[in-house]
Structure 1
Amino acid sequence: MLTHDDVTVPDAIDCFRQAADLPIQYWGFKDVGLTTREMEQLVGEFRSAAKTPVLEVVSFDEKELLDAAALAAHCGVQYLTGGEFSQAVRERAHSAGMRYFPFCGRVGGSPIELTGAPEDVLADADRLRDLGADGVDLVAYRYTDGDPIQLAKQVVHEFGGDKVIVAGSINSAERIQLMHEIGPFGYTIGGALFDGTFAPGGSFRENLERVVDVDATVDGGPR
């Protein structure tokens, strides 16, 4: 994710160009931080490099979500993730050929938190599947009412790893290892790359190179 503090970084296009040759297939951004023209250009860069564009939305207002879905369709995004589930957004996403992964569970606040009993989160994931979502965006490390790792394992086990994206706060080699053990379809890393968490003092590319190296030491799992 070319984002920091839930905003697309202003030099997202340059960051991508510097790292486009790395073996990272899925590249994402938020619907805030760039102009529409810049977002179009960013997605164009992704597509030219044969990458898969992802837009994650942190919103709970249906009008804002519909606007984000329209923006994603206009830019040529392939995955629309985050936000509160909306049937209208699902229909718009699917009509544009996008896959739709909304937040599951009770998510809210700023910064966002996931609250509730594990069984409630699981029930919501089931509800979203029944309503036609392609998968769920699980903010596991923002879970405040229990063990985030156990919750992620339960959701992946019950819902299917291919239908779960774990979003946010993947900021260590240990957490990357855990993602491989849990087995979601994917996980997102954003701010840690810009904070120099993986390669202190290093550039965005150097931090992402370190993530690639860590990821390569683990068999299977998300990329």
Structure 2
Amino acid sequence: MGNAPELIVMLTHNDLTVHNAYDIFDQCRNSRAKFWGFKEEPLPLEQMKKLFRYMKSCGKTTFLEVVAYSEKECMDGAKKAVECNCDFLLGTTFSDSINEFCRLNHIKYMPFVGKITGRPSVLDGTVEDMIQEAKTYIAKGVYGIDLLGYRYTDDATRLNREFVANVNAPVCIAGSVNSYERLTELKSIAPWAFTIGGAFFENKFDGTFQEQIDKVCEYVNRQILP
């Protein structure tokens, strides 16, 4: 896409929203991150709505990522995204019904591709099949794709690189971005965005939560000298 990838700060650990997500956002609302989100579980809906309202009042772009595999569960997650007035719905196994629901409610939809199991999620499938799957969804009008690249059971670097190069839509590399080595790869691959959640809670980037966010933002935007 030509620009440095955007960090989406996820207030999640092990694919679940942390109980003190509101307090963490409050402490970090003045960080360099513009994109913020969390998962559909386990916070009560009213707490989710309150936190998303606060994020929007601070000028943030908001994301709900739904880790679900049946159409009913995925639609339940999409309905939460609408009730929370989110800008983006990440995740879900694609279905035409959710795609249409998001279109009617003016939410940008970025579904998963590949065979996904478990929570935390694991990704399986061939690179070629996932690229073709993405192209099918994009032809149906989705905004982009949520790719669990570093959760892939095979060569994650190859998947991420070939997927971004061959999919003509925004790609979010979601999950397990937990080192400067992977950030360097992402700068080279240049997806639209990537998520970090658990790595911040595990202090993989060394500092307070806000210090880690700002370090990552600075790193991905730093020019690489020839």
Note whether the superposition's TM-score is higher than 0.5.
yes
Match of 1:27 in 2: 36
Match of 1:205 in 2: 210
Structure 2 unmatched ranges of 5 or more: 1-9
Q: Does residue 171 of structure 2 align to residue 176 of structure 1? A: no
CA distance in 1, matches of 2:165, 2:46: 40
Further displaced range: 29-38 or 202-211: 202-211
How many residues are paired up?
Answer: 215
Structure 1 unmatched ranges of 5 or more: none
**Alignment counterpart, residue 149 of structure 1, candidates 129, 150, 157:** 157
Displacement, 1:60?
0.4
Match of 2:51 in 1: 42
CA distance in 2, matches of 1:39, 1:111: 20
Give 3-state SS (helix, strand or coil) of 1:197's partner: coil
Alignment TM-score, normalising by the size of structure 2: 0.90
CA distance in 2, matches of 1:208, 1:20: 11
What code does the residue aligned with 2:177 have?
I
Match of 2:116 in 1: 107
Displacement, 1:107?
1.7
Displacement, 1:207?
2.2
Displacement, 1:5?
0.7
Give 3-state SS (helix, strand or coil) of 2:109's partner: strand
Q: Does residue 100 of structure 2 align to residue 95 of structure 1? A: no
CA distance in 2, matches of 1:189, 1:4: 10
- The structure whose RCO (Cα within 8 Å, separation 6+) is larger is 2
**Alignment counterpart, residue 3 of structure 1, candidates 8, 12, 16:** 12
Match of 2:194 in 1: 187
2:52–2:62 Cα contact (<8 Å) kept? yes
CA distance in 1, matches of 2:105, 2:50: 19
CA distance in 2, matches of 1:55, 1:81: 6
Give 3-state SS (helix, strand or coil) of 1:188's partner: strand
1:85–1:103 Cα contact (<8 Å) kept? yes
What code does the residue aligned with 2:181 have?
E
- Provide the identity percentage: 38
CA distance in 1, matches of 2:42, 2:127: 33
2:17–2:38 Cα contact (<8 Å) kept? yes
1:2–1:28 Cα contact (<8 Å) kept? yes
What code does the residue aligned with 1:80 have?
L
Displacement, 1:218?
3.9
CA distance in 2, matches of 1:217, 1:39: 33
1:105–1:125 Cα contact (<8 Å) kept? no
Once the two structures are superposed, the pairs formed by residues 67-106 of structure 1 within 5 Å of their partners are: 67-106=76-115
What code does the residue aligned with 2:156 have?
P
Displacement, 1:167?
0.3
Deviation by residue 1:85-115 (Cα, 9 ceiling, x = unmatched): 0111111111111100000122223432211
1:194–1:203 Cα contact (<8 Å) kept? no
RMSD: 1.4
CA distance in 1, matches of 2:163, 2:218: 27
Give 3-state SS (helix, strand or coil) of 2:196's partner: coil
What code does the residue aligned with 1:139 have?
L
Displacement, 1:210?
2.4
Instruction: Evaluate the alpha carbon distance shift between residue 137 and residue 67 of structure 1 in structure 2; reply closer, same or farther with a 3 A threshold.
Output: same
What code does the residue aligned with 1:217 have?
R
Deviation by residue 1:54-96 (Cα, 9 ceiling, x = unmatched): 0001100111111111111111101001110011111111111
CA distance in 2, matches of 1:183, 1:106: 24
Match of 2:22 in 1: 13
CA distance in 1, matches of 2:170, 2:222: 24
What code does the residue aligned with 2:210 have?
R
